[in-house]
Chains A and B, each alone.
Chain A
């Protein structure tokens, strides 16, 4: 019985009878062992994509050959969780995706629009105030003689 082992590969075992003095060729095939990628999320029903392929909802356990993988965990209302994983053969890698609640953009903030509206209004009012006609009084009558005599 011939057994050949290599890290990351399964043992190759060949049973062969050999006569003394016999020379022969023995082909052994080592099969690479997969790693285990376990992806969890702190929020339920988060979609998991590995190298751009949907692999299901977290938690999900994948068996993959060793290598580097790009993992993205998405859930509505949360910021996407992304990470790169280097998985070795026969290794179990566990990833916990902590999804942070999605933060709205500044333009979605109430005070953004309020401030903008206020600023626009201020500009408009200031512009009007600066450029408005000087408030005037109705003209003095002055009568038929046209004399409006100011009394001190």
Chain B
């Protein structure tokens, strides 16, 4: 029942005279939280922090919502103030499982600043009845959709507020206040801002619109709507990689300290096509026959395949020497890109490559292109070269590269992309820079890429025939001189899908 403002007091008076047996509902606002990111593959935890109208932090909760059916998630805030509208700051943070950092105090980080952990302030603190119950951790900002709301609770009626935590806002932290130092650690009206829909952009937080009289909880969710198919297949040699969000980087690769791909970040892709196989010698030769002229030819190996990671294992030869079904190696980044562009595509970005190489786990990201099973010699083409005094893990099966079909039949993703784990490392479009670099800080959330015109190194992704098994993990990165060529480096091409975003 809708009541006039302040009608609660009248209601209570009438009840005290025996004129009724119910009281009006407390002023309550239902907060309905949805997301367009995929659950649980990309995000699955929701952190809720509440600040009163004066900015005092009084509540913090964190819950796993890994089931897509759990979305939209909803909870309510309510007040005992029956004669006036009260307000509460609601900070919502949506993030992947396990992506937390120690809480050292509120640490605002902006895109333009270097990625670092910031100086600890240990403030603000969450105190209940004199007991400090401040959470020990907080979500990692770069993999978090961070949103601040100012939610009113009307004495007129109960109602609801709906909010969508959009993947585009991943990595854009809430800014609680413009005030420097400790004064900026709590929300301030007129100063607080957070990302709503456009990546890396914040909007001032204004009082949320409440649908009074409506406490209905929607059953449909936007989660996963970023996953867009490519449309009708036109070339059987290409596989569709549906768009969507993914986590770029991995904290699980501590065994390779020089290449730890951190910090992780959430990126969003449009759908794209990808070559099912690495570029083969036959394809390169066919392109040449079609009249395409590269600016630089791959290193030619006029002899039979050797047993060392040098020119003797380059697969290209000026004339057909029977290695046409081998992946093309010993080509420069520029040559690889020219062929892809001539084919109507381009080299994939690191983000695209990692996205397609981590799709094999239905409820998260897979460690390897085929899933989470550790690499074996039957699975992929790797370990086929003695390294130092160590024998190659799979050298008993042969030394040197092998034909695509032989080496990648089991090294295949759910989408039918072969040879991502082993075979050849593949040139990427990106400059090879640390994820902490300014290049990556400036990269967009959508179709993320670290682009530089003439970097010292270009990125490589994927294991290769001489590589040890640790290199086959999908998040492992490497870099190489783009002008150089090596017998363990090849390429494959990505193509845009002609669909509406």
A: residues with CB less than 8 A from B are 125, 128-129, 132-133, 135-138, 140-152
Within 8 A of A (CB), among B60-115: 61, 63, 70, 72-80, 86, 88
Q: Do B73 and A143 touch (CB < 8 A)? A: yes
Q: Is B156 engaged at the interface, CB distance under 8 Å to the other chain?
A: no
- Least CB distance from A138 to B in Å reads 4
Q: Give A132 Cβ to nearest chain B Cβ, in Å.
A: 7
Partner of A132 from the list B18, B32, B153, B158 (CB cut-off 8 Å) is: B18
| Complex interface: chain B residues within 8 A of A138 (CB) | 22, 25
Closest Cβ–Cβ distance, residue A69 to chain B (whole Å): 65
Question: Shortest beta-carbon distance, A26 to chain B, in Å?
Answer: 100
Q: Check B26 against A137 for contact (C-beta < 8 Å).
A: yes
In contact, A149 and B77 (Cβ under 8 angstroms): yes
Chain A: minimal CB distance from B207 (Å) = 14
Which of B23, B48, B75 is in CB contact (< 8 Å) with A148? Answer: B75
Contacting pair B23 A143 (CB below 8 A): no
A152 to B158, CA, bound (A): 17
Q: What are the residues of chain B within 8 A of A132 when measuring CB–CB?
A: 18, 21
Give the chain A neighbours of B325 by CB distance below 8 A: none
Within the assembled complex, what's the spacing in Å between the Cα atoms of A48 and B494? 133
Docked-complex contact A142 and B23, CB < 8 angstroms = no
Q: Does B2 contact A (CB under 8 A)?
A: no
Binary flags per residue of B1-34, CB closer than 8 Å to A gives 1, else 0: 0000000000010010010111111101011100
Residue of B with least CB distance to A143: B74
Residues of B within 8 Å of A149, CB to CB, are 50, 59, 61, 75-78
B217 at the A interface (CB under 8 A): yes
Say whether A141 contacts B76, CB under 8 Å.
yes
A148 to B88, CA, bound (A): 13
Establish whether residues A143 and B30, one from each chain, have CB atoms under 8 Å apart when the complex forms. Answer: yes
**Residues in A neighbouring B342, C-beta threshold 8 A:** none
Q: How far is the CA of A151 from the CA of B50 in the complex (A)?
A: 8
Which of A135, A137, A151 has a CB less than 8 Å from the CB of B153?
A: A151
In the complex, how many angstroms separate the beta carbon of B149 from the nearest chain A beta carbon? Answer: 13
Quick check: A147 and B21 within 8 Å, CB to CB?
Answer: no
Other than A135-B22, A148-B78, give 13 A-B pairs with Cβ distance below 8 A.
A135-B12, A137-B24, A137-B26, A141-B30, A141-B76, A141-B215, A144-B72, A145-B73, A148-B75, A149-B61, A151-B86, A151-B153, A152-B58
Given A143-B73, A148-B78, A151-B88, decide whether A125 and B18 contact each other with a Cβ distance below 8 A: yes
Q: Is the CB of A144 within 8 A of B74?
A: yes
B415 at the interface (CB under 8 A from A): no
What residues make up the interface of B, taking CB atoms closer than 8 Å to A?
Answer: 12, 15, 18, 20-26, 28, 30-32, 48, 50, 52, 58-59, 61, 63, 70, 72-80, 86, 88, 153, 158, 215, 217
Cβ contact of A150, chosen from B18, B25, B73, B80, cutoff 8 A: B80
Q: How far is the CA of A145 from the CA of B65 in the complex (A)?
A: 10
Measured between C-beta atoms, what is the minimum distance from A147 to chain B in Å?
4
* A-B residue pairs in contact (CB < 8 Å), sample of 21: A125-B18, A128-B18, A129-B18, A135-B23, A136-B22, A136-B23, A137-B24, A138-B22, A141-B30, A141-B158, A143-B32, A144-B73, A144-B217, A145-B74, A147-B61, A150-B80, A151-B52, A151-B77, A151-B78, A151-B86, A151-B88
Could you tell me if B50 and A143 are in contact, using CB atoms closer than 8 angstroms?
no
- Tell me how far the C-beta of B11 lies from the nearest C-beta in chain A, rounded to whole angstroms: 9
Query: Which chain B residue lies CB-closest to A135?
Result: B15
In the complex, residue of chain A having the shortest beta-carbon distance to the beta carbon of B74: A143
B76 x A148 contact (CB < 8 A)? yes
A143 lies within 8 A of B76 (CB)? yes
Residue of A nearest to B151 (CB): A151
Name which of A129, A140, A150 has the most chain B CB atoms within 10 A of its CB: A150
Instruction: Say yes or no: A143 contacts B18, CB within 8 Å.
Output: no
Chain A residue numbers with a CB within 8 Å of B50 are 149, 151
Across the interface, name the chain A residue whose C-beta is closest to B90: A149
Taking a contact as CB atoms under 8 Å apart, the answer to whether B79 and A150 are in contact is yes
Task: State how many angstroms separate the Cβ of B50 from the closest Cβ of chain A.
Answer: 6
The distance in angstroms between the C-alpha atoms of A98 and B61, with both chains bound, is 95
A141 — which chain B residues lie within 8 A by C-beta?
A: 28, 30, 76, 158, 215
Closest partner residue, chain A, to B54 (CB atom): A152
**Is B78 a contact of A140 with CB atoms below 8 Å?**
yes
* Cα A145 to Cα B74 with chains together (Å): 6
Q: A135-B23, A145-B75 are in contact. Are A152 and B28 (CB under 8 A)?
A: no
Chain A residues with CB under 8 A of B58: 151-152
Q: In the complex, what's the smallest C-beta–C-beta distance from B98 to chain A, in angstroms?
A: 21
Residues of A within 8 A of B78 (CB): 140, 148-151
Across-interface contacts of A128 in B (CB, < 8 A): 18
